[in-house]
Structure 1
Amino acid sequence: MTSTFPENRTAVVTGAGAPRGIGRHVARALAASGWDVAVLDIDEASVKDFAGELAGETGRTVVGIGVDISDKDSVEAAFAIIDRELPPVVAEVNLAGIPSPHTIFEIDDAIWDRVMDVNAKGTLFMMQAAATRMIQGGHGGRIVNTSSITAYDGGGTFSKTGYAAAKAAVLGLTRGGARELGKHGITCNAIVPGPIDTDIMGGTLTDERKAGMSSDIPLARVGQPQEVAGLIKFLVSEDSSFVNGDSVFVDGGKHMV
């Protein structure tokens, strides 16, 4: 079914604490487009400061909430605040994640559990909470998950096998969500970024490191957070109503090489 979104609606964006992260660019783009926004991050102080800043910039209602997405109780507590303080949840964007530079022989139980808990289990918990509210609201909705080119190429100099496995799991969650939630007018898609100049890449990249990372990218450069935000802005819009279960690369063409 197709749905018309309510005029007053909320987008939930995780991973919005990092000053140079994709989450902040997404939140800004959505607030500028008429969305009220819940910005979530494990760094509560940072995300609350950002919420106040964004509300002042845009005039939208923006709420910052500290959350550990790998803890289901923490996720439910965050959504209880969203239910109380914001309009209905119509979009949910999963950007929170952690890298893992460990090789296959360096992965132990603790490393494996942590990278899977945050990147995969955390995505699942957020999807469950958001989709429950979208179904109850009867207005459909949009879920956007974040995978990685690493899920396809197995990793490189920055993140390796454990991260690749977790981000491959996100693709399965996305496709399962698309199949099961479609009857409720909820679409579920994944973005697949290549190298993006964000804090998760270790902060500001040197020119030498950027050159190394972009050597096999046809556009011959790394991406910028706002370029990913533009794609997400489309995927949560009503215009994307027949895009479902897709994995959209935003990598300058790296996946073709």
Structure 2
Amino acid sequence: MSPIIETRHLSKKFGGIVVANDIDFTLHGGKVMGLVGPNGAGKSSLVNLICGTVPADSGEVLLHGRAITGLTAYQRARSGIARTWQNIRLFPSLTVLDNIVVAAREYSGERIGSIFRERRGGDSALVDAAMHQLSRVNLQDYAHHLPTELSIGRQKLASLARALMNEGECLFLDEPVAGVEGRVYETLKELIRQEAAKGNAVCIVEHNISFIEDLCDHCVFMFNGTLVSEGTVADLKRDTQLTELYFGRHE
């Protein structure tokens, strides 16, 4: 099966710091990929390059074999590439519901903050779709709340609901369970499994190796802007060099 996302020779420097060094990377539908490595390895930078929030210095990004390197971040999102962020980034002045609605690919960008009040025509369909995503993360009762009124765990769930509102084929999750435990942790795992079962590609950047081990079909280890090894978590843990670089910190 051809990959949904592919990068070829993708490279990026910030000054003298190389965050992506000639990276070839693929994501396949129906699979959950883990992207692991120490802080500063370039994991989030790679996600930014693929999602278009940071321009590449060289190389290309392909979606279903079509080059999208020249597309803006919002154009890539409208092509079906969705993501969450380490620092969540919900709009604090919008309700939780409106935060979800604005992530729809067909959303026109008009009447931010007023969609729920109007509920007519196409807007009503978007509200219904947003409420469906909120129900998936058990936040339907918080639709009218501001994000700042939610716990960090619920904010993480709202962030995931916003990404799911894209209804695309590719989902990037940047440290989804940092600071999260209990029911929220299990809900995140179940939703990721559901997305892969739909045939979507999921990539998780995460330091919680147990979370990665439970979910990921395949894992890539990144260090100093370079993809240095890949395999299952068990495969990577057997690599003495990687254990010294990273995994030993978790044992």
TM-score bracket, shorter-length normalisation: 0.3 to 0.5
The structure showing larger relative contact order (alpha-carbon pairs under 8 Å, at least 6 residues apart) is: 2
TM-score by length of 1: 0.34
Q: Which has the higher helix share?
A: 1
- CA radius of gyration, larger in: 2
**Bigger strand fraction:** 2
TM-score normalised by L of structure 2: 0.35
